Homo-oligomer: A and B are copies of this chain.
Amino acid sequence: MINTTYKKMLQGKSIIRELSEYATARGQEIGYDHVFDYSLGNPSVPCPQDYTDGMIELLREEDPVAVHGYSPSLGIESVRRAVAESLNSRFAMDYEAKHIFMASGAAGALAHAFRCVTSPGDEILTFAPYFPEYGPYVNLSGAVLKVVPADMENFQINFQALEQMMSEKVMAVLINTPNNPSGVAYSTETIHKLADFLEGKQREYGHDIFLISDEPYREIIFEGADSPYVSKFYDNSISCYSFSKSLSLPGERIGYVAVNPRCRDAEALAVMCGQISRGIGHNCPPSSVQLAVAKVLGQTSDLSVYETNMNLLYDALTGMGFQVVKPGGTFYIFPRALEEDAGAFCMKAKKYDLILVPSDNFGVPGHFRMAYCIDTEKVKRSIPVLEKFVREEYPGRRS
């Protein structure tokens, strides 16, 4: 009979998707140029030309039976080795191919990481503000997601709240830095403090607590940001990566799990990912994409547009009197709304064809997210519209 859990989920609607669909419909009505769509986190810059050239070369020069053939269940060995070497040279780690599991994007990587280190009923803690898909990602794995309230000052970690929510049932802590939706990167100090805290709790409880680090924005870091490589600070850590944002390949479903070589049972964990795959129908990222990505490891798309856009928006928003924590990376910014009800705020903005996402779904009230992975020219044109919206809707709030 039809599964009721999944059927009931159909009633829930994603506010982000609804806003994005509205923006598209509105664009068809008045011209897409006039809709300032800050709803979706879709890369707006092309992949590196070397990726395209490398893929064409594979298709032209190599044996198609090999290029399109089954990948081993943990990924193509040469690709896993190349990923390990790339991470080692960039972050002074000691990965070997055996610590790398090629996954179909960060969603695939996380699905494996959660199942590796939890059993049904175990808890995973994450920190607000957080990517709302973590809810179904974790809860449908059988584990239970609990969200630690935000550090509202700077969107680092609220350690007091963490201490209160930590218990023996917590088997993993999930972080996302640089962060969607805040754009904030956890500082060296924050990661150090988190690592110390978790080490203490491991000793206290007598069991492992894994740190799962979701890092799709790792390469989108702005000038002056302190954004260290998480796994350097804590042995029982698992890094989940996607090339979606750094290479602008979100649809190609390519990423990896990198198990810290110093982690408990490090070698078993990567192999376990292959077993988990059998149950969830994940049979490796596309073979040709694995091979093509391996040719451009260390490269990125031209990500500079995101920093340009961030600076434009940050200056404009602070100039208008918004309270904003300055992003250290990503293509998101997460200002405080001009009224307590973020939903009402964003509804008012919609009248000006400004598509902003209210913060409630991210586990924080009274804020809104702007995904500024759009043309700089459009960001510039949106600023007077933002000013008009604020002036007309919140006349008393203007500085």
Contact = CB atoms under 8 A, between A and B. Distances in A.
Interface stretch (A85-93, A266-274, A338-346): A266-274
Given A108-B282, A250-B68, A115 B3 contact: yes
Interface string A1-27: 111111101100000000000000000
A: interface residue count bin: 35 or more
A281 to B, nearest CB: 3
Given A251-B284, A281-B112, A286-B253, A207 B1 contact: yes
A45 interface: yes
Contact of A59 (B55, B65, B281): B55
A44 interface: yes
A67 to B, nearest CB: 8
A140 B59 contact: no
Interface stretch (A116-124, A189-197, A389-397): A116-124
A272 B4 CA distance: 10
A283 interface: yes
Interface of A: 1-7, 9-10, 42-47, 52, 55-56, 59-60, 63-65, 67-71, 103-105, 107-112, 115-119, 122, 133, 136-137, 139-141, 171, 207-208, 248-253, 264-265, 268-269, 271-272, 275-276, 278-289
12 contacts: A47-B68, A56-B60, A69-B250, A107-B282, A108-B281, A111-B281, A137-B279, A251-B288, A280-B280, A280-B281, A286-B286, A286-B289
